[in-house]
């Protein structure tokens, strides 16, 4: 029987409100038969019927859609046996360019002049009546800052930190909420607007008022009555505003102060004033995944520290907020302090730098509940003062962008399974409307290199289409005139020299390519292609700047790079010096990907150009950096006095050219042997920084060194992935963030200004290896239209299994070794093909269905 498993519009199966004139539809199928293919399919909406055999991002092609309208889309699919399946979904259009009835309002009397601080939250109020029966009511809202809406004492919507972080000068999202069931005869609408990213303190330098000198609100309530009439309430001078609401402070780094005892009727309410907003962004209905609450976390223990503080351990490091049920007295102040680590039984705050990460709550009398709304923390431990344990029931909410998990991996080694969980938790903790670097200290910024290297692993584990498309929109908007891309997107207060930084800037190539391979939508490549070309033109210019000779023009020589960032036991400066190698290899890799992208887009001239350029870079890398035996030559950065170690060798210097196909023949063999030598001399410990970490196991495994790859993966002493899995619950920024002697490496003496995080997903890029080599599942044709299952057993593993919810359905593989025999079960989605390669080389081409093979 043929069924439709999933049907989406704009990558959402429900609650879609869009301003797109051509919303895109996708779907997947299921069947209990084998070798099922799609024969034909159609989508009908608004009187238009279109061919939908493509299944991925089928664009609407009918008459113009109307604003503020609800539509139903119907899908019919027929398979090769004539079986039919049908499904329907509804979606709404947003404003679609309709002028706002509301105006930007603020507290015109408020002057915020604090440095490295956030403004007081503004609370806005509007009272109004509804004299007739309501058929439908929607609120459209946005803010300069972040906002919370409350109608008649009930929260509006499920989102946190709306309208989200975007490149505010270019685009500002607005949200649409259904409030039909919340309305009564007499109504009070409250809106709390805190500084957020736009006005509050942001970046490690705690810059504030980046976008505006103070907060502002823009909202509109549209009520349709059953008698066919409509009424619109927009923000204007009839609204009231105060800074004496219940939210007394809100800051992403320092936390929240909330006074439940505050009497709003006694607050100093003033008439709201019109605000002239100095930026003119395009206002667009939400097109990303806003932050929402997900898992409810329960403490595993509560002890009293020597300081007298109650310390709750949640057993898992994550990003979110506490959720407290309290029994208190009016005026009683309870403080919640958050941290990732304990030292000597007390909260360890040093890695937080200037961030206070606390929530302060003033009680009313009796039973009450509290959970922050204007901030979030990265934590495992919560210290509580001002209340006894018997009067407090504490839990917590995990906050992250509203993305679905689509991948699963498990194997016979419990520590590897813990590693997989660590990878997923670090990704969720840092998918906070944008891909951030950490969720706890005074940073939490959109560092481009982290997601550039982690994107393949992210796309195995999560349906991050909307999330990454939104962020890439800002990458495109903020590309510099010369082609460079900031190391932080949105840059939002973090101005950086207009240089080209390898991997960080290459996010414009690496992230769209990972998305295309996983999700199959070629439009992401087409959209980003001009950005990629402009960026790689800048790379070519700066790499060859003031260089003579063919070799020097095709390898990096000057300027700042992050190099082998945070490689263990190496200072920041030595990591950067390695940029001569890492940046050159990255250039070659991006050119290789651009060759493939140009071919897909039909750009034959570009395809040849990038293929030829890749060959030149390969040749130059080998000539400049390797001797005839494939050993790295000692190099000194011409702009630095720092040497690169006694022998001038490091793991990433061999990993990258091997993984990127830059070497062949004896040179490749020599480089591989030298890499293996370094790995063995290092006791199979990982010694790579950000650039080499995603690729080192592939460089070994794909070149016949499976044993060394598995030994490195399974090493469980510091530095290694499994050491982190033994003693932590997330991925760390530094391999030795917590040393084996129990001390913390904050990087005080290496030039990084006390930089360490215990929730930093970049090194979790090893998850790509777990899916592609251990489980063996790998996309061959975009979106897994054709995929390969080719597991590489090793390391003493007796079984492994992985699955991915592809755009076509669930692709899965589960193998085991038992009594000297290998068996594997494979699941192939409808309308796809699987190439199964057994460990002995035997191959099978499989249509849809479930299969089992033995060897």
pLDDT tens digits for range 766-810: 999 999 999 999 999 999 999 999 999 999 999 999 999 999 999
Q: Assess whether pLDDT exceeds 90 at residue 811.
A: yes
pLDDT tens digits for range 226-284: 999 999 999 999 999 999 999 999 999 999 999 999 999 999 999 999 999 999 999 99
Domain of 86, CATH number, reads 2.60.40.10
pLDDT tens digits for range 812-840: 999 999 998 999 999 999 999 999 999 99
Q: Is 14 a catalytic residue?
A: no
Domain of 410, CATH number, reads 1.50.10.10
The count of domains in the chain is 5
Q: Which of 21-35, 150-164, 564-578 has the lowest mean pLDDT?
A: 564-578
Name the residue with tokens 């070659």. Answer: 588
Residue 257: inside a domain: no
Q: Assess whether pLDDT exceeds 60 at residue 639.
A: no
Q: Which of 443, 607, 724, 801 is flagged as catalytic?
A: 443
Q: Residues 672, 678, 680, 683: is their CA dihedral positive or negative?
A: negative
pLDDT tens digits for range 36-57: 999 999 999 999 999 999 999 9
The closest alpha carbon to 654, from 716, 643, 682, 841, belongs to 682
Residue 503 backbone class (left: φ over 0; alpha: ψ -120 to 50; beta: rest): left
pLDDT at position 553, please?
87
Angle between helices 579-600 and 523-543 (to 10 degrees): 140
Give a three-class secondary structure readout of 207-239: ECCCCCCCCEEEEEEEEEECCCCEEEEECCCCC
Residue 765 CA to residue 192 CA, distance in Å, equals 39
H-helix or E-strand spanning residue 5 = strand 2-9
Phi, psi of 737 (to 5 degrees): -55, -40
Q: Report CA dihedral (793, 797, 798, 801) to the nearest 10 degrees.
A: -70
* Whether residue 716 is found in the same domain as residue 843: no
Mean pLDDT, residues 701-721: 98
Domain of 115, CATH number, reads 2.60.120.260
* Strand partners for 106: 273
pLDDT at position 497, please?
81
pLDDT at position 721, please?
98
Q: Which of 491, 733, 778, 805 is flagged as catalytic?
A: 733
Q: Assess whether pLDDT exceeds 50 at residue 160.
A: yes
Q: Assess whether pLDDT exceeds 90 at residue 488.
A: yes
pLDDT at position 820, please?
87
pLDDT tens digits for range 586-633: 999 999 999 999 999 999 999 999 999 999 999 999 999 999 999 999
* Strand partners for 431: 435
Residue 108 CA to residue 274 CA, distance in Å, equals 7
Residue 721: inside a domain: yes
Q: Is 836 exposed, middle or buried (0-12, 13-18, 19+ CB in 10 A)?
A: buried
* Whether residue 341 is found in the same domain as residue 425: no
* Whether residue 701 is found in the same domain as residue 740: yes
pLDDT at position 477, please?
97
Q: Assess whether pLDDT exceeds 60 at residue 644.
A: no
Phi, psi of 847 (to 5 degrees): -85, -170
* Whether residue 71 is found in the same domain as residue 114: no
Q: Give the DSSP per-residue string, 347-398.
A: E--GGGTT---EEEEE--SEEEEE--SS--EEEEEEEEESS-GGGEEEEEEE
| Residue 314: domain span | 293-401
Mean pLDDT, residues 416-445: 97
* Whether residue 281 is found in the same domain as residue 336: no
Q: Assess whether pLDDT exceeds 60 at residue 645.
A: no
End residue of a domain, out of 401, 432, 447: 401
* Whether residue 365 is found in the same domain as residue 412: no
Mean pLDDT, residues 507-520: 98
Q: Report CA dihedral (314, 317, 319, 320) to the nearest 10 degrees.
A: 0
* Whether residue 318 is found in the same domain as residue 282: no
Residue 593 CA to residue 596 CA, distance in Å, equals 5
Residue 99: inside a domain: no
- % of the chain with per-residue pLDDT over 70: 98
Cβ pair 693, 762 in contact under 8 A: yes
pTM for this model (two decimals) = 0.96
Residue 374: inside a domain: yes
Residue 256: inside a domain: no
Q: Assess whether pLDDT exceeds 70 at residue 646.
A: no
Q: Give the DSSP per-residue string, 790-852.
A: -----TT--EEEEEEEETTEEEEEEEEEETTEEEEEEEE-TT-EEEEE-TTS-EEEE-SEEEE
Q: What is the mean pLDDT of the chain?
A: 95
Residue 806: inside a domain: yes
Q: Is 706 a catalytic residue?
A: no
* Whether residue 273 is found in the same domain as residue 319: no
End residue of a domain, out of 93, 127, 149: 93
End residue of a domain, out of 775, 802, 836: 775
CA atoms within 13 A on the CB side of 512: 26
* Whether residue 485 is found in the same domain as residue 460: yes
The closest alpha carbon to 633, from 623, 642, 618, belongs to 623
Q: Assess whether pLDDT exceeds 60 at residue 368.
A: yes
Phi, psi of 439 (to 5 degrees): -110, 10
* Whether residue 396 is found in the same domain as residue 439: no
pLDDT tens digits for range 59-112: 999 999 999 999 999 999 999 999 999 999 999 999 999 999 999 999 999 999
Task: Please report which residue ranges of 554-635 form alpha helices under DSSP H.
Answer: 572-577, 579-600, 604-625
Domain of 800, CATH number, reads 2.60.420.10
Q: Assess whether pLDDT exceeds 50 at residue 647.
A: no
* Whether residue 60 is found in the same domain as residue 193: no
Residue 100: inside a domain: no
Buried b (16+ CB within 10 A) or exposed e, 538-562: bbbebbbeeeeeebebbbbbbeebb
Residue 758: inside a domain: yes
Neighbouring C-beta atoms of residue 741, cutoff 10 Å:
6
* Whether residue 465 is found in the same domain as residue 438: yes
pLDDT tens digits for range 388-408: 999 999 999 999 999 999 999
């Amino acid at each position: 029987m043929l069924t439709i498993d999933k049907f989406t519009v704009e990558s959402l199966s429900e609650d879609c409100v869009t301003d797109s004139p051509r919303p895109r539809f996708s779907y997947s199928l299921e069947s209990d038969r084998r070798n099922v293919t799609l024969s034909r399919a159609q989508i009908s909406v608004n009187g238009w019927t279109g061919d939908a055999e493509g299944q991925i991002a089928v664009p609407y092609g009918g008459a113009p859609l109307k604003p503020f309208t609800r539509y139903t889309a119907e899908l019919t699919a027929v398979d090769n046996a004539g079986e039919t399946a049908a499904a329907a979904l509804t979606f709404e259009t947003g404003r679609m360019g309709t002028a706002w009835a509301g105006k930007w309002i603020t507290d015109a009397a408020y002057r915020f002049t604090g440095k490295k601080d956030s403004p007081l939250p503004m609370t806005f109020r509007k009272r109004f009546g509804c004299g007739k029966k309501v058929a439908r009511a929607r609120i459209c809202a946005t803010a300069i800052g972040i906002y919370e809406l409350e109608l008649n004492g009930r929260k509006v919507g499920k989102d946190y930190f709306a309208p989200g972080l975007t490149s505010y000068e270019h685009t500002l999202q607005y949200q649409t909420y259904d409030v039909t069931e919340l309305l009564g005869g007499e109504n009070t609408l409250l809106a709390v607007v805190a500084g957020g990213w736009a006005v509050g303190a942001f970046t490690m330098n705690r810059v504030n008022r980046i976008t505006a000198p103070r907060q502002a609100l823009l909202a509109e309530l549209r009520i349709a009555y059953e008698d066919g009439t409509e009424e619109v309430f927009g923000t204007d001078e009839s609204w009231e505003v105060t800074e004496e609401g219940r939210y007394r402070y809100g800051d992403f780094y320092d936390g929240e102060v909330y006074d439940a005892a505050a009497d709003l009727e006694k607050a100093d309410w003033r008439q709201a004033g019109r605000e002239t907003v100095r930026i003119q962004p395009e206002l667009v209905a939400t097109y990303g995944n806003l932050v929402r609450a997900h898992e409810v976390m329960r403490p595993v223990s509560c002890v009293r520290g020597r300081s007298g503080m109650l310390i709750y351990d949640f057993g898992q490091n994550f990003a979110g907020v506490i959720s407290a049920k309290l029994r208190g007295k009016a005026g009683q102040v309870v403080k919640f302090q958050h941290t990732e680590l304990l030292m000597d039984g007390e909260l360890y705050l040093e890695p937080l730098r200037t961030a206070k990460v606390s929530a302060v709550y003033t009680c009313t009398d009796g039973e009450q509940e509290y959970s922050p709304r204007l901030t979030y923390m990265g934590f495992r431990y919560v210290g509580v003062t001002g209340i006894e344990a018997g009067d407090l029931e504490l839990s917590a909410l995990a906050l992250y962008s509203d993305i679905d998990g689509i991948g699963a991996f498990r194997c016979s080694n419990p520590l590897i399974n813990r590693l997989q969980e660590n990878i997923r938790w670090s990704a969720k903790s840092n998918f906070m409307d944008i891909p951030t670097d950490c969720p706890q200290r005074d940073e939490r910024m959109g560092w481009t290199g982290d997601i550039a290297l982690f994107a393949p692993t992210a796309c195995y584990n999560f349906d991050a289409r909307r999330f990454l498309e939104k962020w890439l929109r800002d990458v495109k908007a903020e590309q510099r005139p010369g082609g460079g891309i900031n190391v932080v997107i949105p840059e939002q207060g973090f101005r950086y020299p207009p240089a080209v930084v390898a991997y960080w800037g290459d996010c414009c190539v690496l992230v769209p390519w990972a998305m295309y391979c996983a999700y199959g939508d070629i439009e992401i490549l087409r959209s980003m292609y001009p950005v990629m070309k402009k960026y790689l033109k800048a790379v070519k210019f700066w790499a060859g700047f003031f260089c003579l000779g063919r070799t020097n023009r095709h390898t990096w020589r000057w300027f700042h790079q992050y190099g082998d960032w945070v490689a263990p036991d190496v200072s920041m400066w030595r990591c950067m010096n390695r940029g001569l190698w890492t940046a050159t290899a990255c250039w070659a890799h991006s050119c290789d990907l651009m060759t493939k992208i140009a071919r897909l887009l039909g750009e034959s001239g570009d395809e040849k150009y990038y293929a030829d350029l890749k060959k030149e870079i390969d040749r130059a890398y080998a000539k400049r950096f390797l001797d005839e035996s494939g050993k790295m030559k000692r190099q000194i950065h011409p702009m630095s006095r720092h040497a690169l170690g006694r022998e001038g060798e490091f793991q990433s210097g061999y990993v990258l050219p091997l993984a990127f196909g830059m070497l062949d023949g004896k040179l490749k063999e020599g480089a591989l042997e030298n890499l293996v030598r370094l790995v063995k001399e290092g006791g199979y410990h990982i010694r790579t920084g950000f650039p080499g970490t995603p690729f080192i196991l592939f460089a070994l495994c794909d070149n016949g060194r499976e044993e060394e790859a598995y030994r490195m993966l399974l090493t469980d002493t510091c530095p290694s992935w499994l050491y982190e899995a033994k003693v932590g619950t997330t991925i760390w920024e530094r391999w030795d963030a917590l040393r084996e002697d129990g001390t913390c490496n904050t990087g005080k003496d290496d030039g990084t200004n006390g930089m360490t995080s215990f929730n930093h997903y970049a090194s979790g890029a090893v998850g790509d290896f777990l899916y592609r080599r251990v489980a063996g599942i790998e996309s061959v044709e975009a979106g897994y239209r054709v995929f390969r299952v080719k597991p590489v057993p090793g390391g003493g593993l007796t079984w492994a299994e992985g699955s991915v919810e592809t755009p076509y359905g669930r692709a899965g593989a589960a193998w085991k070794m038992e009594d000297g025999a290998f068996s594997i079960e494979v699941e192939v989605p409808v309308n796809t093909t699987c190439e199964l390669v057994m460990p002995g080389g035997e191959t099978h081409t499989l249509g849809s269905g479930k299969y089992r093979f033995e060897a």
